Every structure is written in C-alpha cells, then in structure tokens.
Chain A
Amino acid sequence: MTEMLAIDWLTAVIFVPLAGAMLAFLLPRQAHLVGVGAMALTALVTIALVLQVLTEGAMITHLGNWEAPLGIDLRVDGLSAILLAMTAGVGLLVSLGALDSYASRRVPERMRRYFWPLWLLLLSGLNGAYLSTDLFNLYVMLEVIALAAVGLTVLSGRIEAVRAGLEYMYASILGALLFLMGVGFVYLELGRLDFAGLLAANSSPALSAALALMVAGLALKTALFPLHVWLPQAHSNATAPASALLSALVVKVSLYIVLRLAQYMLPPSEILVALIGVLGLGAILWGSIQALRAERLKLLVAWSTVAQIGLIFVAFARAGADGVAESWKAAALLMLAHAIAKAAMFLAAGRIKDEIGHDRIRDLDRSPIRPTLAQLSFAVAAISLVGLPPSLGFAGKWILMEGAMTNGYWHWIVVTMTATMLSVAYFSRVLTGFLRFDRQRTPAGEHQGWALADAAPLTLALFALGLGLFAAPILSFMDIGYPFGATP
C-alpha cells in the first residue's frame, strides 16, 4: 500500500470497470460513452499500478483489512502487472475498434446496448483473476468471466452465434465444475485455499488429483485439444470486437491460472506434464489442419487460436523438473504475443469482412474494394503469430527452443518448428490472396476502404511486431516478485 497516494490501485482496477458495467447497463443510450470512459479510466489505473510495481515491487492489499486465510487478499507482482497491462492495452484498442464498428446504423440497437456492460464486467473479472491470491476467489472470477464471455458470444443474436454460445456455456460450466471439485479436494486436504497455504503443503495423492482436476477444468475453458470443440464456432460467429476479446483475453486467464498453480502447488507429476505436452502437440496438428481447410476467414483465425494454445501448452510441458523458470517465461511471452496479435487479427478480419461484405477466403481477392490497411494489419499480426523475427511471438519461441535445446528436449524443438511451418501454410492461404489482384478485372481502387477503424488493428499489429525487440525488459519486469521462482 502506498502512503503517498491514498488510492489503492489494486482494488480500483477491479472496481472501476465493475462500476462502469453497472452504469453502462443503467444508461443504455450512453452505454458507448460510459464504456469507453470506464475503459480509459481502467487503463489509467493500470498504468499507475504498473508504475507502482516498477518502483515498489510486488504488493499485497487486504480487502476490508481482513487478512488471509479469512479475508480476501489481492496481490500484484510482475506477471500479474504485465497481464493487467496487456488486458488494458488490448481492451482499450478493441474498445475503440468496437466504438466504430457498433456505431453504424446497420448494427441492431441491442448490440450497442449490451456490448459495453458485458465487456466491462468481463474486464472486471479478468483483472480480478490476475490479482486473486486464493483458489476460491479465482473460481468466482472464472464464473464472472464465463458469464460475460457467453453473453458476448451470443451478442449478434444470429442462430449460429446462439448455438455456439450455448455450447460454449456448457463447456464453461463443466470446466468450472471440474475446477471447483479440485478446489474442494484442496480444501478437504489442507483446510485453506490461499496461495501461501498451498506453498507450505506437503505432497499427497489427494493434492495431485486436485491439481489434475483443476488443470482439466482449465484446459476445457482454454480449449486445449481435444476439449476445444466449442471454440472455433464460438469465436468465429461472435462479432469482430467480441471475437477479439474472447480470443485475445478470455482464454489467457485459464492459462494464467495454470501458471500460478505451477508456482504455488507442488511440481506436477511427470505424467501430467507429458500428457499436457502431447495434447499440446495434438492441438497444434489438429488446429492447423482445420485452419488449412477452413473456408471462412474468421473460422481460420479461430482454428489458429486452437493451434497457438497448443504451442503455449507445449511451452508449459517443456518445463519438466529443471528449467521451470525458462519455460514459464516462454509461455508467458507467447501468451502476451498471442493476445496482442490475435486481437489485431480478429479486428482486421472483421474490417475486411465489413468492407468486402463476406469473409469467404476463396473470393477475398475478387472484390473491387481493397481494405489495404486491414490487410496489412492482418499480415503483420500473422508475422507475430507465425513467430518470425523481430516479433514478440519470435521472442517467445526463441526462449522456448533455447530452453529445450539446453535441456536436450529435441522433440519439443521439432514440434515448435512443425508448428511454425504449419502456421505459415495456413496464413499464406489468406495472405497470398491479398497480393493477387488480377482476378479482378474491373478497375480496382487499391486504396479504397481506409477508415479510422483500421487504426486499432494496425496499432495492435505493430505492437506485436515491435515489442519483440523489447522482450528483455518485458521479461525482467515480469520477474518482479519472482513469480517464476527464479533465483532471488
């Protein structure tokens, strides 16, 4: 807690968007103004929090001055702070994109009215999850997030979206249930659920089972193969800003919790690690194959999420007994890279679809309208997702492969390289179409279709590309408070 400033940024970063959500719900006509305002305010609070972490290190605050295990603690360290910053940054840019995309007369009133409260509720839940210090609290936040995310999925009201949202809801409930069972096991075994208590516990079969249950629940929520079936439809049928939020931010929470579990619970058993790695490989292969076959742009992007999540799980799995710190760093960087680049890509795909009027990959190059800036954003985002230098995705892959090579895990290197080649294959299906002009015989106005709305995806894409050059400072920031158990 800071003495100089009377504001507790940790609490504020959760309650500002929550208050915004309520206000936006109560003032449906001004929802977009409330929404962007609350988002901007949250971003400012996040900046303050990040600066505070930078100067003062990790911090804990006790909500209502009750200490753990009775009260609720909020804790921020480098990892939490960077994810909060990622959420705020991506959130702000997606919000600006949404402002434009929901402003059009063609968009039903309902979407404009409900998007903002749902998104702010989601933001509050995300921030809460990143600051939680006990398992039950995490569970509650997961439910808040799921509620808002399902709402965002069905926002368009189209039948496909509603169907996908329903599937998503079932998966989410089941995942939460598995997680809750794991939490219950931990409580029966230890009598407490705070992270500090977990850290002190001794190994036991019950705890291992609990860990396995929780990881299974999280895998379902983050769509790890073969529990991914709900994701492609849910993400591809939502409206573009909602897809961007779901794919960039929502799946990251479950991954973050996996990271935290690895930090505070006992080292996972070798079998569990190997299983996660194999499933990650399955996700890479299956996600890529489906992306290669997808006929619609947004579906391709959604399937690529499945593959990319597989790669992040490979980063987790590579840890094993030694090299844990390196491997978590790789996973965290990949999460960050995926969040920024995928948000850019979904927004860009949305823009392309809006301009051209459809998103059938085969016919994208037949339109007389060329949304060049959106296409550029898509291409730059793809560079980061493929992991070519100097992007952030490249930095993540470099650390992943460096660690694997140091430890002699050659199979993970092969897997990473396969994932890279496959992602080139499926993205080039789209990118080549952007360059190929001669199927359009009518005079093509190459520079039609620029709009202010292109600013959001382009900014995100350029960040994904350029931040790779600053991976070292990002990593050292993430290490504040030693979330990876690195040497003090």
Chain B
Amino acid sequence: MNDASLLPLMILMTPLCAAPLLFALPERSARLRTAINLGAALLKLVLVSWLSWKVSQGVIYDLRLTVLPGLEFNLQADPLAILFIALSAVLWLITTVYAVGYLEKGPHRARFFGFFSLCVAATVGIALAGNLFTFLIFYEILTLATYPLVIHYGTAAALRAGRIYLIYTLGGGLVLLLGTLGLWVLAGSTDFVPGGILAGVAEDSPLAAQLLFLVLIIGLGVKAALVPLHSWLPIAMIAPAPVSALLHAVAVVKAGAFGIMRVVYEVYGIETAQLLGLTTPLAVLAAVTILYGSIRALGQDDIKRRLAWSTVSQVSYIALGIALASPIAAIGALAHLIHQGIMKITLFMVAGNLAEGRGIKKVSQMNGVGLAMPGSMAAFTLAALGMIGLPPLAGFVSKWYLAAGGLQAGQGWVIPLLLGSSLLNAAYFLPMIHRAWFRTPDTAPQQGLVRRRIGWMLAAPPIATAALVLIAGGLANAPFSPIEWTRFIVTLEYSQEAL
C-alpha cells in the first residue's frame, strides 16, 4: 500500500466522517449543518475528480485488508468504479443542496442528514469495492442507512413502506450473502477481474455456475427492482422527495444494477456468461421488466408513484444492455447508468417542488402548473423528453446504443421492444407535460395557493440536472462525456477483437 492508495479511502471517509458530526449537531444549528453537508459533498467531488484524472492517466489504486482467512476488504478504482462514483459525487452535491432547501425547518434534520451521509458512504463503497465480499458489506450498509430515510416521516404508511422495504432488501442481502459464499466456495476468490474468474468452474460444473448466477441475480435484482422483485420500489416512494431522488437515481436501484454489471462482466466474464446460456434469460427478464414497469406507470395518478414505476422500467435498460452481450449495447448500458440517474433525479426533485410549492401530488392536479412554476416544469419537460428518448437528449443516446447493440448481437427483437417502451414512456409522460403547459389551471380551492415559496435551493438543483441531461446528450462525443468513458470501460471488458 502506498500513499496514493489512500485516495479511495479518503473518498470513502469523507461522507463517513461527516455522518457522526451531523448526528451530533443540535437540531437548531442549521447553518453549521449545511456547511458540513456542502463542505463534505464538495470535498468528495474534488477528490473524485482528482481520482478520475489519475485513473485516466493509468494510476492503479488498490487498498487491501485481510478480514477473514483468504478474504480481503478491497477498495480499488477501476474505470467502472469511476463511472459510478462520479455519478454519486455530482448528484450528492446537487441533492444535498436540494435536501437542505426541502427540509428547511422540517423535523429531525440531524438524523436525516446523518443517515443521508451514511447512505452516500455506502454508495462510494459499492462503487470502489474490488471484490464481491466488499461489495456485500456496503450493500448491507446501504440497506441499513436508507431504512431510516424511507420512514423519515414516521406516519403509519411510511412505517408500513419501511417494513416492506426492509423485508425485501434484507432478504435480498441474505441471498446475496449466500451467493457470495457460493462464489467463494466454488471459485476460491470473489475478486472482480475483467474477463471473470469463473471460466474454470463453468467448464467443470456448469450447473453449479448457473445456479450461482440465479442466486446472485436474485440478491442483486431486489435492489435493481427486476420483476418480480420490484414491489418495494413503488411503495418506498413515500419517503421525502430528496430521498426518493437519491434512491432512484444513485443509491439503491443503481447499487443493484451496478452489482449485476460487476457480476456479469467481472465475476463470470461476458464470454463465460454467454457460454453458460445465462445472458438470454437475463435479457428476457429485463425486457419483461421494461414493459411491465411502463404499463403499470400508465395507470398511476400519483406523480411520485408514476415516476417510481417508470424507474422499474428504466433501470432494466441497464440489465438489458449487459445481457445483450454486445460491446455496443454495453456502452448503452453503462451510459444509461449515468443518464437515467440525471434524468430521474430531475423528475423527482420537480415532483418534490410541485408538492411543496403547490400541494400538487397527482397528475390530474397538474393543469396549468407550467406557467406557475416555469423553471421547474421546464426541467421536468426536458428530463421527461429525455426519458422518452428524444434526440439530442441523454436518454436518446443510451437507447441508440442499446438498439445498435441489439442489432450487432443479432437480437432484432430489441428494436420493437425499445420502440414500444418509448411509446409507453411517451404515453405516461406526455400527458403530464401537456397538462402542465397547455391546460388552463383548475379553479379548485386548493389550486393556485402558494403553499411555500420555492427558494433557489429547491429551484436550482433540478435545472442543473436538466442541463446535464442536455449536455450529456448533445455533447455525447466530447472527451470526458459519460459515453466516452464507457467506451473506455467496454474496451476493458470485451476482448479486443469483439470491437
């Protein structure tokens, strides 16, 4: 271990050390709390930028500590880790600003921001985990850190949602533990290695390798909200808006999707996974989830619930891109990890603004809100159009690569699937946009009342992320755009001749 290897540890420690400070602060010290929050988020962003720069220069970070005989706690920074950690660093800063504004004078802020920081720390750990064992540690910490956020309001409905959330995620964690154990017993290692570590095992006992894959995907699929393990996600939207934003964009569902990525690419290796016939069932499962999530989103009148079902659908694009086993689709999957994050966080933050500012929680109440809250609704419109996949927005880029990848892999059915999904996306997003901009406001008594002024801390974050949606799509070919970085990763995961 040299000094430089401490950089990943410092990134992990930044939110981890902020958490106890935030817990200990008295409720009334709002300024100091905000300073710590923003300071930690900024520090992390600086450290992550530095790390990304170093890694792109070819510096290798590897921090190891033997925890159990043969098993190591391992933090490393490979390009895939950078992708995820950069997403979490940028969105943590933006969400923190939003959360500070959202919870102004709200109850239990000390507790909230403490767990919020822990949640970010767990995400960092998940990104930097160098083996499945380390990944598992942070996967469980993430569950524990998000549970108090989900039940933050403490209402009966929130507690019920929390209970369901806990049963699903802890159950998933246990299954992942079982899978990690199985991997350790079968392969004698849980390391993430480009190209995978299971080629030998797959040759000797393919059935065991296939079963293990099933167990691992169930464990990860709970957080990634793959059908039929998705039920917790629409229920958990009871959480405060910043939490929902973070949960849907970076923390929980992404942890699952990221885990699936690691398992397919770096535990099995894409070629071994294909050889074992594992990619097709995963692709089918992802396709089913994409369609089912979209169809369920159509029927929701509650805005956040509709967005939650849309997450179920959109996150599975990532699994689909991985499972198509084509390098171009892989670029789409990796890019969508980022793109879905920035689009969905925008949508959730605007949903929060609607509820806070106007008391609007249902789609049917959205009439004419565009003129009342033009900034927020413009951001919402941009993100929603991105979700539908309109060029030149971010969502279009990922869908384009997915479709091209489908063709490259000889899976023509992906094209109608993506078209159908886009149509469904349009069917549940366009009416919201239409109502907001083109219908006259209702004259119902609760409408038009300003419940609370939307300050810059609430208004600016969604606009910033919406701008990112535009930039990530429009400047997709610029160096350091997500797409460029994912191309770099894909060259590592696929053998050279595949490209």
- Residues of A that sit less than 8 Å from B by CB: 372, 376, 383, 388-390, 395, 398-399, 401-402, 405-406, 413, 417, 420-421, 424, 428, 432, 435-438, 446-447, 468-473, 475-476
Is B182 touching A405 in the complex (CB atoms < 8 A)? yes
Is A432 touching B69 in the complex (CB atoms < 8 A)? no
**Residue on A with the closest CB to B107?**
A437
Is B69 touching A475 in the complex (CB atoms < 8 A)? yes
1/0 per residue B170-185: CB within 8 Å of A? 1101100110011011
Instruction: Identify the interface centre among B68, B73, B163, B173: most chain A CB within 10 Å of its CB.
Output: B68
| Residues of B64-106 contacting chain A, CB below 8 A | 65-69, 71, 73
The prevalent SS among residues of B at the interface is helix
Is B155 touching A438 in the complex (CB atoms < 8 A)? yes
**Residue on B with the closest CB to A387?**
B177
Additional pairs, 8, CB under 8 Å, beyond known A421-B170, A435-B154: A401-B177, A402-B184, A432-B159, A436-B154, A437-B108, A438-B154, A447-B27, A472-B71
**Does B166 interact with chain A (Cβ within 8 Å)?**
yes
Segment at the interface with A among B134-142, B428-436, B457-465:
B134-142
The one of B159, B174, B181 that contacts A398, using a Cβ cutoff of 8 Å: B181
B130 to chain A, nearest CB (A): 15
**Does B362 interact with chain A (Cβ within 8 Å)?**
no
Is B178 touching A435 in the complex (CB atoms < 8 A)? no
Is A417 touching B67 in the complex (CB atoms < 8 A)? no
Q: What are the residues of chain B within 8 A of A437 when measuring CB–CB?
A: 107-108, 154
**What's the tally of chain B residues with a CB closer than 8 Å to chain A?**
39
Q: Could you list 26 examples of A-B contacts with CB < 8 Å?
A: A376-B23, A388-B140, A388-B144, A389-B136, A389-B137, A389-B140, A390-B67, A390-B73, A390-B137, A395-B68, A398-B181, A406-B185, A413-B178, A420-B174, A421-B171, A428-B163, A428-B166, A432-B159, A435-B111, A435-B154, A437-B154, A438-B107, A438-B153, A446-B108, A447-B27, A469-B73
Is A424 touching B69 in the complex (CB atoms < 8 A)? no
Q: Do A424 and B185 form a contact, CB below 8 Å, given A436-B154, A438-B154? A: no
**Residue on A with the closest CB to B184?**
A402
- Residues of B that sit less than 8 Å from A by CB: 23-24, 26-27, 65-69, 71, 73, 107-108, 110-111, 136-137, 140-141, 144, 148, 151, 153-155, 159, 162-163, 166, 170-171, 173-174, 177-178, 181-182, 184-185
Q: What are the residues of chain A within 8 A of B153 when measuring CB–CB?
A: 438
In Å, the complex CA distance between A438 and B155 comes to 8
Q: What are the residues of chain B within 8 A of A406 when measuring CB–CB?
A: 185
Q: What are the residues of chain B within 8 A of A421 when measuring CB–CB?
A: 170-171, 174
Q: What are the residues of chain B within 8 A of A446 when measuring CB–CB?
A: 26-27, 108, 110-111
In Å, the complex CA distance between A417 and B67 comes to 21
Instruction: Identify the interface centre among B67, B159, B162: most chain A CB within 10 Å of its CB.
Output: B67
In Å, the complex CA distance between A424 and B159 comes to 15
Q: What are the residues of chain A within 8 A of B171 when measuring CB–CB?
A: 421
Q: What are the residues of chain A within 8 A of B67 when measuring CB–CB?
A: 390, 395, 468-472
Q: Do A424 and B26 form a contact, CB below 8 Å, given A398-B181, A405-B181, A468-B67? A: no
Q: What are the residues of chain B within 8 A of A473 when measuring CB–CB?
A: 66
Is A436 touching B108 in the complex (CB atoms < 8 A)? no
Q: What are the residues of chain B within 8 A of A395 when measuring CB–CB?
A: 67-68
Q: What are the residues of chain A within 8 A of B65 when measuring CB–CB?
A: 469
Q: What are the residues of chain B within 8 A of A476 when measuring CB–CB?
A: 69
Q: What are the residues of chain B within 8 A of A447 when measuring CB–CB?
A: 24, 26-27
The 4 closest A-B pairs by CB, nearest first: A389-B137, A436-B154, A472-B66, A438-B154
In Å, the complex CA distance between A434 and B54 comes to 44
